[in-house]
Amino acid sequence: MMNLRMKPAYFLLLAAPLLVQCSPTPTLDEGRAAILGDIVAEVDRDLLQQNLDELVAVHEVDTPLIVLGSGCSLTHDNAREWLRAKFQAFGLTTYSHFVDDGAFSTENIIAEKKGTERPDEIVFVGAHYDALCAAADDNSTGVAAVVEIARVLKDRNFPRTVRFIGFDLEEMQLVGSTRYVTTKAANDNIVAAIVFDSIGFRNDAPHSQNSLPGFPAPSQGNFIAVIGNAPSAHLSDDAWLVQERFHTVKVVGIDSAGTSESLAAGNLMRSDHAPFWIRGKPALFITDTANFRNPNYHQPTDTLSTIDPVFLKGVTQLSAALIAYWAGG
């Protein structure tokens, strides 16, 4: 006959795995979330498209930095000046982070809105402005979104500092962002960030989404991937909550193991968020998964006609809300 005094211990032992897995579901801070509906509504699809059209056009007539054998070239000068002019026209404090190591130079363009209460706590949204080939999805969509978010947020005040960053030479192995995080921002208290890379291509056809073993993905390439790592998991929670609140775009989240230094995380480290992750700074990487969905990736066919403006607007709305939410914290 069972000793009745031991029963609670048995139940605790059996329930232990459930207790480990049951933790409180995150929720939005409703005080900070109050303004998000207005911000989502202010994102303008026509202005986004105008940004995109102008960026692709300036890349098209730019002098190449490097000409590739595939008929594509790497360009960045015109896009850099276009971005600088846009930030200055918004009245934002605009400056550049210029580094020349003797081999080649990089110039990141930064616009900043100083925080009103905790200016040393920084939230940023960034995208690389250099581009290969026709440059529409990769990465004129990302830069267009950064500019539109800057426009929506420029007249609002937030407790934390908000930065809008154009990174240089991402296509040459993340040069601009690496130099930024190791020099200019090495001691910055970055509390949250979003990095865009290719956010405008959507395909609703079955089996239009590819993936890798161990990375389950929907069959249709009609979602935006929001990718974080362990130090950024709370940002991923917020992204899920905001998209659940406003339903601007379908989201699939990927949380990488640890700080993502493992071999299997390689494909999750392919843009300007990676230098921040390596240095333990939290950031979300937002992408349409590029070559895993878009056959025009790094091709002359990466043109404006392949971009889905509704999808791009939805991604921009989600991201604008997140930046405002974090800046208000």
Partner 1 sequence: MTILATVLATTITVPQPATPPMRIAAYLRAGLSVHSAPSQTIGGLGGGAGIRVSFPKFWLAQADLNYYGLIGHVGEVRLGGGIQRPGLWNPAALGMVSILFGQRLSFRTADHPWPSSGPVVSAGISLAPLRFSHKNYTASVLELGLGIKPDLPGVGMTYSIGLLEIGHSF
What is the CB neighbour count within 10 angstroms for residue 297? 19
Pick 120 or 261: Cβ nearer partner 1: 261
Using CB under 8 A, pick the residue from 41, 186, 264, 310 that binds partner 1: 264
Helix (H, G, I), strand (E, B) or coil at 61: coil
- Check binding of 15 to partner 1 (CB under 8 A): no
Total chain residues near partner 1 (CB under 8 A): 30
Give Cβ neighbours of residue 27 (< 8 Å, ≥ 6 apart): 241
Q: Which of 145, 190, 254, 318 binds partner 1 (CB under 8 A)?
A: 254
Nearer to partner 1, 69 or 213 (CB): 213
252 binds partner 1 (CB under 8 A): yes
For the stretch 36-48, what's the b/e string if a residue is b when 16 or more beta carbons lie within 10 angstroms of its beta carbon? beebbebbeeebb
> Residue written as tokens 């878009």?
294
User: Quick check: 274 binds partner 1 (CB under 8 A)?
Assistant: no
Residue 312 · residue 140 · CB < 8 Å: no
**Candidate residues 2, 6, 14, 20; the one interacting with partner 1 per rule CB under 8 A:** 20
Nearer of residues 54 and 255 to partner 1, judged by Cβ: 255
Binding test (CB under 8 A) with partner 1, winner from 31, 71, 102, 214:
214
Rounded Cα gap, residues 49 and 33, in angstroms: 27
Q: Which stretch binds partner 1 (CB under 8 A): 93-101, 118-126, 143-151, 261-269?
A: 261-269
Q: Which is nearer to partner 1, 15 or 66 (CB)?
A: 15
Binding flag, residue 102, partner 1 (CB under 8 A): no
Q: Which of 65, 240, 245, 291 binds partner 1 (CB under 8 A)?
A: 240
For residue 195, list its beta bridge partners.
Answer: 126, 285
Which token pair is 122? 């920084």
Most distant CA pair in the chain: distance in Å? Answer: 87
28 phi/psi in degrees, rounded to 5? -75, 145
User: Omega of the bond prior to 139 within 30 degrees of 0, cis?
Assistant: yes
Positions in 24-53 near partner 1 (CB under 8 A): 25-26
Binding positions for partner 1, rule: CB under 8 A: 17, 20-21, 23, 25-26, 213-216, 218, 226, 230, 233, 236-237, 240, 244, 251-258, 262-265
